[in-house]
């Protein structure tokens, strides 16, 4: 959301900005929480208890309808099917899906409007772009139904934990609602329509942290919605400054959440983290349940395949490929997300029969490659930083196969011992002789999206786009 890009908003006093956000909140509330939303949520709350057979039947039916739509209306798929001699009747079940090729970011970029249905005008559509840090951003189209449905999936998840639509929430993600140059509070704005306090991640620092927590003490939100990197930063600042803070839930998504980061957030705010997985392209959706066994992949959202990744990937990892049912205004079939996970072959004690996957760990191209050729998930490195309390923010860059540059924003008590722990810790977890340089900085700026890419590989090959 880039409210701040609008000149009139920037020029307005805080109270007008609150009113503007509330007005927009009312509009989204109408769209997101209207009858269509409530019906979608109700349906989803029932279908989450479906048997495997019921899910299979539902998926086959929705897939057949999607293929029919693509063949009838979307030039790209009509061409692809003609080239392969396929008719819609050839793809009526999930088992037939492999007859169609994978779709990649590059294809989406090159094909452009050929991926949009000829009757696009009949959908109320919204255009957006991915925030991709490398390469050109993807242009994406979504319709009102898709946005409403997506929102229902998110709320099904939160309600399964007892988080209600009427509860107060605070959000500190990529919302640039406060001028970047602002040096005095409030670093947040109100959306009264949706009972949200939207705070700026950009302004959060050791100097301002106390103001944020004071605002939350007054607003008393039930949940905090945050990127994992932001949640970790908040927790570290609270700990360092002895600030007592509690939320009933911390809701995370959009970045992998390493176990140490998760523990840090949960311990500091004495609550559970609820994590879910989605992407800007909206091709697959997976959510935790109150048992926290892993992520349940939502079969009603689309077909999610786990395939052999292209390029270097840690052993046993599979790439998530999604065919969503929920967006007819830009149907993506077999879209390669680049996100890596592991299938979990267990029954969840919660009773849901939706397939389980491990939390998303990493992305294709976003892993550590070692001198002996091993490819290791960068999450291994996060274990080194988890126990180090004297660090506010960190970032690891692999610039050579035998060298890591570690950027550190030190806490007040950071010492040479901490630096040594980083150096030796990295060598130990990687079981490799890599040299490590540590650079102490006053800050590591977050990206425009509000995220912080914690590990960056500068080795040959495509760098990872961010979710």
Residues binding Zn ion (CB under 5 A):
289, 291, 348, 350, 352
Which residue, 204 or 257, has its beta carbon nearer to Zn ion?
Answer: 257
Residue 71 neighbours by CB distance under 10 Å: 18
In the complex, minimum distance from the CB of residue 290 to Zn ion, in angstroms, rounded to a whole number: 7
Which residue, 173 or 352, has its beta carbon nearer to Zn ion?
Answer: 352
Q: Is 248 exposed, middle or buried (0-12, 13-18, 19+ CB in 10 A)?
A: middle
The first and second tokens of residue 323, run together, are 């065919």
Q: Is 449 exposed, middle or buried (0-12, 13-18, 19+ CB in 10 A)?
A: buried
In the complex, minimum distance from the CB of residue 153 to Zn ion, in angstroms, rounded to a whole number: 15
The first and second tokens of residue 334, run together, are 């077999």
Assign residue 460 a region: left if phi > 0, alpha if psi is -120 to 50, beta otherwise?
A: beta
If we measure between CA atoms, which residue out of 215, 107, 160 comes closest to residue 351?
A: 160
Which residue, 44 or 108, has its beta carbon nearer to Zn ion?
Answer: 44
Q: Which residues in 302-423 belong to E strands, given as ranges?
A: 302-307, 318-324, 335-341, 343-344, 356-357, 362-363, 368-369, 375-376, 391-400, 403-410
Which residue, 197 or 289, has its beta carbon nearer to Zn ion?
Answer: 289
Which residue, 163 or 168, has its beta carbon nearer to Zn ion?
Answer: 163
Which residue, 350 or 358, has its beta carbon nearer to Zn ion?
Answer: 350
In the complex, minimum distance from the CB of residue 260 to Zn ion, in angstroms, rounded to a whole number: 23
Which residue, 289 or 409, has its beta carbon nearer to Zn ion?
Answer: 289
User: How far apart, in whole angstroms, are the C-alpha atoms of residue 67 and residue 81?
Assistant: 10
**Helices and strands per DSSP (H, E), number in the chain:** 12, 22
In the complex, minimum distance from the CB of residue 286 to Zn ion, in angstroms, rounded to a whole number: 11
User: How far apart, in whole angstroms, are the C-alpha atoms of residue 249 and residue 274?
Assistant: 7
User: How far apart, in whole angstroms, are the C-alpha atoms of residue 368 and residue 308?
Assistant: 18
Residue 432 neighbours by CB distance under 10 Å: 16
In the complex, minimum distance from the CB of residue 348 to Zn ion, in angstroms, rounded to a whole number: 3
Task: State the DSSP H helix or E strand holding residue 78, giving kind and residue range, or none if neither.
Answer: helix 75-83
In the complex, minimum distance from the CB of residue 324 to Zn ion, in angstroms, rounded to a whole number: 22
Residue 76 neighbours by CB distance under 10 Å: 20
In the complex, minimum distance from the CB of residue 294 to Zn ion, in angstroms, rounded to a whole number: 8
Which residue, 174 or 359, has its beta carbon nearer to Zn ion?
Answer: 359
Sole residue written with tokens 């050729």: 373
Which residue, 197 or 287, has its beta carbon nearer to Zn ion?
Answer: 287
In the complex, minimum distance from the CB of residue 253 to Zn ion, in angstroms, rounded to a whole number: 17
In the complex, minimum distance from the CB of residue 287 to Zn ion, in angstroms, rounded to a whole number: 9
Residues 6 or more apart whose CB falls under 8 angstroms from that of 50 comprise: 58, 299, 353
Q: What is the DSSP letter of 429?
A: H
The first and second tokens of residue 111, run together, are 């094909």
In the complex, minimum distance from the CB of residue 212 to Zn ion, in angstroms, rounded to a whole number: 33
246: preceding bond cis by omega (within 30 degrees): no
Which residue, 321 or 354, has its beta carbon nearer to Zn ion?
Answer: 354
């Amino acid at each position: 959301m880039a409210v701040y890009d609008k000149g009139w908003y920037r020029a307005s006093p805080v109270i007008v900005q609150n009113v503007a956000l509330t007005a927009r909140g009312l509009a989204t509330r109408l769209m997101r929480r209207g009858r269509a939303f409530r019906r979608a949520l109700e349906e989803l709350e029932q279908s989450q208890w479906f048997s495997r057979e019921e899910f299979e039947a539902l998926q086959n039916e929705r897939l057949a309808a999607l293929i029919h739509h693509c063949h009838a209306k979307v030039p790209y798929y009509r061409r692809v099917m003609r080239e392969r001699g396929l008719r819609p009747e050839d793809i009526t079940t999930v088992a037939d899906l492999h007859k169609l090729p994978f779709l990649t970011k590059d294809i989406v970029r090159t094909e452009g409007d050929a991926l949009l249905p000829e009757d696009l005008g009949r959908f109320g559509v919204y255009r957006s772009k991915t925030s991709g840090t490398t390469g050109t951003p993807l242009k994406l189209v979504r319709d009102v139904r898709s946005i409403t449905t997506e929102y229902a999936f998110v709320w099904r998840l939160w309600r399964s934990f007892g988080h209600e639509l009427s509860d107060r929430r605070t959000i500190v993600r990529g919302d640039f609602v406060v001028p970047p140059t602002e040096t005095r509070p409030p670093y947040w704005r109100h959306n009264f329509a949706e009972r949200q306090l939207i705070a700026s991640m950009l302004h959060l620092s050791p100097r301002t942290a106390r103001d944020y927590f004071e605002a939350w003490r007054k607003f008393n939100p039930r949940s905090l919605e945050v990127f994992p990197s932001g949640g970790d930063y908040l927790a570290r600042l609270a700990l360092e400054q002895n600030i007592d803070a509690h939320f009933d839930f911390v809701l995370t998504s959009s970045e992998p959440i390493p176990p140490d980061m998760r523990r840090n957030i949960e311990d500091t705010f004495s609550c559970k983290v609820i994590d879910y997985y989605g992407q800007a392209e909206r091709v697959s959706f997976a959510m935790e349940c109150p048992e926290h066994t892993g992520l349940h992949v939502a079969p009603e959202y689309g077909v999610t395949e786990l395939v052999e990744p292209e390029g270097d990937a840690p052993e046993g990892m599979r790439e998530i490929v999604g065919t969503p049912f929920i967006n007819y205004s830009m149907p993506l079939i077999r879209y390669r997300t680049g996100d890596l996970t592991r299938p979990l072959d267990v029954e969840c004690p919660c009773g849901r029969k939706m397939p389980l996957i491990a939390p998303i760990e990493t992305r294709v191209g976003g892993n550590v490659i070692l001198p002996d050729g091993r490819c290791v998930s960068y999450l291994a490195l996060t274990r080194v930083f988890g126990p180090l309390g004297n660090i506010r923010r960190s970032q690891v860059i692999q610039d050579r196969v035998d060298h890591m540059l570690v950027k550190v924003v030190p806490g007040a008590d950071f010492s040479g011992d901490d630096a040594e722990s980083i150096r030796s810790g990295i060598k130990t977890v990687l079981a490799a002789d890599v040299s490590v340089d540590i650079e102490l900085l006053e800050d590591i700026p977050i990206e425009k999206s509000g995220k912080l890419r914690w590990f960056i590989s500068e080795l040959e090959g495509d760098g990872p786009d961010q979710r």
